Amino acid sequence: MPTMAVAVDLVILTVRDGALCALIIERLLPPHEGSRALPGGFVLEDEDLEAAAYRELAEETGIEKFPGHLEQLGTYGKPDRDPRGRVVAVAYLLLAPDLPIPKAGSDARHAGWIPVADLAGTLAFDHEAILSDGVERARSKLEYTNLATAFCQSPFTIAQLRQVYEVVWGVELDPRNFHRKVTSTPGFIEPTEERTSHRAGRPAQLFRTGAAESLHPPLLRPGRA
Amino acid sequence: MPTMAVAVDLVILTVRDGALCALIIERLLPPHEGSRALPGGFVLEDEDLEAAAYRELAEETGIEKFPGHLEQLGTYGKPDRDPRGRVVAVAYLLLAPDLPIPKAGSDARHAGWIPVADLAGTLAFDHEAILSDGVERARSKLEYTNLATAFCQSPFTIAQLRQVYEVVWGVELDPRNFHRKVTSTPGFIEPTEERTSHRAGRPAQLFRTGAAESLHPPLLRPGRA
DNA sequence: TTCGTTTATGTCACTTTGACATTAACCCAT
DNA sequence: ATGGGTTAATGTCAAAGTGACATAAACGAA
């Protein structure tokens, strides 16, 4: 039976300065030297796939303890997707709050947040398709789960949570209706005793992620009648 | 960089005699000789993953031209999941109408439809977990897509389509409300000119799959408030 | 023609959503 | 201390969607 290299590639998304951004590295080695790519690397001999994802995350971005959500996205295995030979890539999707990127990882590649909209046509391998699948997965998961909270530092305000939806979906949402929805759906968010104190305006109540893994009924994207 | 074997495993589901069934083979070779398993096999050197899925489908079940829906389900790569060594399995989910299973495939394993409820504790490797993930994927896809039509021979009646939902979800649905929902959701199903003619009762109108890939609003499972 | 069976449609109360307005709570400048 | 600016939270109402129940239509068979 044939054997092949297996890699993990990471689609790491965050909301930053009002834009949906991905964590992108610059490749130092061929192939595609100098161009942009998703973080990733080969799975080791006796390593679980998810463990490989966390290891590459730490090695390439310096993030040791990941505070967000991780799930498997899909596997990409076209025979010619990597010029080095047959490489099957298992992609993982990570949703994170706006993290400061630690110093470049151990293999010295520079990692940084880049707006997804700026990445069209600039990624190596088939990473643009993988990224696109990841973004679409994130968009639809916001409808049926409370994973939008994974983009927020905890605790967060309802306005911050709403901005996550607005940025990821690229739409504007009615603040009143959004507030009603997230507070009336059981398990979406949990209230805390705290409130914000900032320069202007009425203080906002702070919330944490709720226990529900799925929203019933869901919070659907507008304008897809 | 380490290399490893890559396999495809197939979760093939249908609705048959009022039960959700999976296409299961009996293993003739070790490991797990004689026990039940999902169809599958190793990906060849220069073969696309999806092509491998279709090839194994033909080889192990004799189905040359698959009439249903195929999508990638997930990848299972625990280092010890196969006693033969490191094997990463890419699972595919197939939804099919109630097909007659052709003669046993070229490698002479016997294939047949088995109710999913009867499979608990009987599958080799980690196939029970894979099957379980596939069933859950199918259940949730019925909410947001018109993939239930992939379980029906075309053309089909609304009652047949409703039975698909009832069997896959394990619930009873109100025939009137279901009829209203599927006929009023644009792109769910397309009417044809034909009608059924059977022994008793008013003839039913026949429909084909609609063009919509997603349902808006979705058809949610009852009882998950 | 009548009965049994199955499909299709009608109705209505309740829930959820979308769109718009008002009140509440805080900071700051005067 | 007071009023204005700013942001958060809640109120209202019509439209759309859903759940539950009843009735009519179209066939085959007796």
Residue pointed to by tokens 């409808």: A143
pLDDT in tens, A122-167: 999 999 999 999 999 999 999 999 999 999 999 999 999 999 999 9
- Which nucleotide, over all strands, has the C1' atom closest to the CA of B183? C8
The Cα–Cα gap between B45 and B59 comes to 17
Classify residue B97 by its DSSP letter: -
The pLDDT of residue B197: 79
CB atoms within 10 A of CB B32: 15
CB atoms within 10 A of CB A187: 14
Q: How far is CA B208 from CA A53, B65, B173, in A?
A: 43, 19, 21
- B149 by Cβ neighbours in 10 Å (0-12 / 13-18 / 19+) ranks as buried
Q: At what angle do helices A127-144 and A158-169 cross, to 10 degrees?
A: 140
- Residue B22 in tokens: 């999976």
Q: Would you call B6 helix, strand, or coil by DSSP?
A: strand
> Cβ contact (<8 Å) for A6 and B224?
no
Question: Of A140, A90, A98, nearest to A115 (Cα)?
Answer: A98
CB atoms within 10 A of CB B164: 22
Q: Say if CB B72 and CB B92 are below 8 A apart.
A: yes
Does nucleic acid strand C have an atom less than 7 angstroms from the CB of B179? yes
Q: Looking at beta carbons, which residues of chain A come within 8 Å of B46?
A: 79, 86
The pLDDT of residue B91: 99
- Residue B130 in tokens: 């894979």
- B16 by Cβ neighbours in 10 Å (0-12 / 13-18 / 19+) ranks as middle
Ordered domains of chain B (ranges, CATH): 5-141 (3.90.79.10), 145-209 (1.10.10.10)
CA A84 to chain centroid, in Å, comes to 28
Q: Would you call A212 helix, strand, or coil by DSSP?
A: coil
The Cα–Cα gap between B124 and B122 comes to 7
Mean pLDDT for the stretch of residues B27-35: 88
Q: Which residues of B make CB contacts under 8 Å with A?
A: 1-6, 42-49, 72, 74-75, 77-79, 86, 88, 90, 144, 214, 216-218, 220, 224-225
pLDDT in tens, A88-113: 999 999 999 999 886 655 555 688 99
pTM greater than 0.90 (yes/no): yes
The residue of chain B with its CA nearest to that of A221 is B216
Q: Would you call B181 helix, strand, or coil by DSSP?
A: helix
The pLDDT of residue B51: 98
Does nucleic acid strand C have an atom less than 7 angstroms from the CB of A224? no
pLDDT in tens, B158-169: 999 999 999 999
The pLDDT of residue A105: 52
Degrees to nearest 5, angle at CA B43 with A70 and A9: 25
Q: Say if CB B40 and CB B130 are below 8 A apart.
A: no
pLDDT in tens, B59-92: 999 999 999 999 999 999 999 999 999 999 999 9
Q: Say if CB B65 and CB B58 are below 8 A apart.
A: no
Mean pLDDT for the stretch of residues B27-56: 94
Does nucleic acid strand C have an atom less than 7 angstroms from the CB of B193? no
Does nucleic acid strand D have an atom less than 7 angstroms from the CB of B159? no
- Is residue A101 left, alpha or beta, with left meaning phi > 0 and alpha meaning psi from -120 to 50? beta
Mean pLDDT for the stretch of residues B200-218: 94
Confidence of residue A222 (pLDDT cuts 50, 70, 90): very high
The Cα–Cα gap between B60 and A164 comes to 47
- A140 by Cβ neighbours in 10 Å (0-12 / 13-18 / 19+) ranks as middle
Q: What whole-number percentage of chain B has pLDDT above 90?
A: 86
CB atoms within 10 A of CB B223: 8
Q: What whole-number percentage of chain A has pLDDT above 90?
A: 87
Confidence of residue B101 (pLDDT cuts 50, 70, 90): confident
Mean pLDDT for the stretch of residues B88-104: 90
Q: Which residues pair with B94 in a beta bridge?
A: B12, B70
- Residue B52 in tokens: 């491998």
pLDDT in tens, A166-208: 999 999 999 999 999 999 999 999 999 999 887 788 999 999 9
Give the ipTM: 0.94
pLDDT in tens, B172-205: 999 999 999 999 999 999 999 999 877 788 999 9
The pLDDT of residue B105: 52
The pLDDT of residue A179: 98
Of B86, B216, B220, the CB nearest to A217: B220
Cα distance from N-terminal residue to C-terminal residue, chain B: 49
Mean pLDDT for the stretch of residues A39-46: 97
CA A85 to chain centroid, in Å, comes to 28
Q: What is the number of residues in chain B?
A: 225
